[in-house]
Amino acid sequence: MLMGPISIYFHCLISYLCDFLTILVIWFDVIHKLISIIIVFFLISGINAQSLTQKDFLDVYVDCGFCNMNDIRNNVPYINYVREALLSDVHVLVTRVPSGANGYNYSFRFIGRNDFKDTNLTRSFTENPDMLLAERQRGIRNILELGLSNFWSQTKMAERLSIKVNEDRKRDIATSDEKKDRWNNWVISIEGGSSLDHETIRKESRLWGRLSIDRVTELWRIRNYLYARGDYQVFTSEDEEIRSNVYRKYGSTQIVRSINDHWSSGFFISVSQSTFDNLDLSTRIAPAFEYSIFPYTEVQERELTISYRVSHLFRDYTEETIFNELSENLFGQSLVMAARFTQPWGNLYAELEGSHYFHDLSQNRLVFEGRVNVRIVKGLSLSLGNNFELINDQRSLPKRDISLEELLLAQRQAATSFRLGGQMGINYTFGSIYNNVVNTRL
């Protein structure tokens, strides 16, 4: 009688043990696979880490058309400067846009390539209007080294890196009155100059002056501008003396308000006088709107805008025009589409503007301007530039015929239905990829 329950008990125990062993085998198999995956992961990581840390120096391409590369090479000698972005470990793309204080905002994009392709970052630097050239160059070098530190930390250079923080105690204890901007973001700039070029039978001189009063904030952009220029020429021969005096005067006020990250509105007023354009007085009043496809915050890298203006013009002419006018009021409109891109592959700028007068749509103008610089392959780059105008709105042309003397001396505007200009350049560089040496002899 006892054998029945005992046999059932042992049967159940064996069954439980078999199930337990089965589960244990499955767990061992899972753990084995996990261990294998972890070992492979660390082996791969070790291989990558080894390939990164074996580099003593970074190959860097500094893509900056306005930087003093001799200064950078002299003061940042612990990188290899290569001649082409596609040959680099790090492509440093530097752009700048004007700031509100008559300086520049610089943007440094550090673009990793090859083993560093997963490392990308952006650093910025602001130039003050009273900053000396040496201070600006020092600021550019500091931002360059700061950005490269993220890449140096992945190389053998990491063993030689150190961190130093400069503490400006005077700045820390500055009073609130000292920190406050007494000028409330207003910046005033006065410029002027002259030039002189004399020969035996020819004398040329130029005198010019410029005044700007600007205020730029996140919400407002206010720009006031005055400009005057005089060009004087004298040609002397045995029989006669020919004199040419051309004057240009211009003043404008622009008030632009930010609506949001894509929209802005503005109001433009200008006054001008020009003997070349047959104008004793010309005024323009034009409200405007602009829409940016990309957020304005991305202006350092890309910009695509559409702007619209409606204008009222008053003109008082020096001489009677081809339309038998000595003065007139005109109304017109214009539409402008502009694109700017600064990318690792190169840069592009294009602008298309169309305008016409309301009273006669046939009196219109179409203007296109474009520039592009593209890296095609390693060492090969192509640059193209073009400007083209279709002109049907020259209402200020004098009624009388322009003399050959006036035309050659650029004293008067000549009638034309178009203007066309263009340029093309191609550059191919090969040989040593490094460009570290600074040698300014002779």
pLDDT tens for each residue of 123-168: 988 887 677 778 888 888 889 988 988 888 888 777 777 777 666 5
Q: Report which of residues 160 and 32 the model is more confident about.
A: 160
Q: Report which of residues 169 and 197 the model is more confident about.
A: 197
Q: Are 148 and 90 within 8 A, CB to CB?
A: yes
Q: Is the pLDDT of residue 20 over 70?
A: no
366-391 residue pLDDT tens: 999 999 988 887 778 899 999 999 99
Across 31-45, 61-75, 289-303, 410-424, least confident range: 31-45
The pLDDT assigned to 166 comes to 66
Q: Are 315 and 330 within 8 A, CB to CB?
A: yes
The pLDDT assigned to 354 comes to 96
Confidence of residue 22 (pLDDT cuts 50, 70, 90): low
Confidence of residue 32 (pLDDT cuts 50, 70, 90): low
Confidence of residue 11 (pLDDT cuts 50, 70, 90): low
Q: Is the pLDDT of residue 173 over 60?
A: no
- Tell me the C-alpha distance between 61 and 65, whole Å: 12
Q: What are the φ and ψ backbone dihedral angles of 360, each rounded to 5 degrees?
A: -155, 100
Q: What does pTM read for this prediction? A: 0.69
Beta strands, E only, 113-238: 120-126, 186-198, 202-216, 220-236
Residues paired with 313 in a beta bridge: 284, 330
- Domain ranges for the chain: 59-156, 186-258, 278-442
The pLDDT assigned to 178 comes to 46
Q: At 371, list the tokens.
A: 């520039």
- Tell me the C-alpha distance between 282 and 220, whole Å: 27
Give burial (CB, 10 Å; 0-12/13-18/19+) of 5. exposed
What DSSP designation does 321 have?
A: B
253-275 residue pLDDT tens: 999 999 999 999 999 999 999 99
Fold of 59-156: Rossmann fold (3.40.50)
CB atoms < 10 A from the CB of 150, how many? Answer: 16
Contacts of residue 156, Cβ cutoff 8 Å, sequence gap at least 6: 53, 54, 55, 56
- Helices (H) then strands (E): counts for the chain: 6, 17
- Taking the alpha carbons at both ends of the chain, their separation in whole angstroms is 117
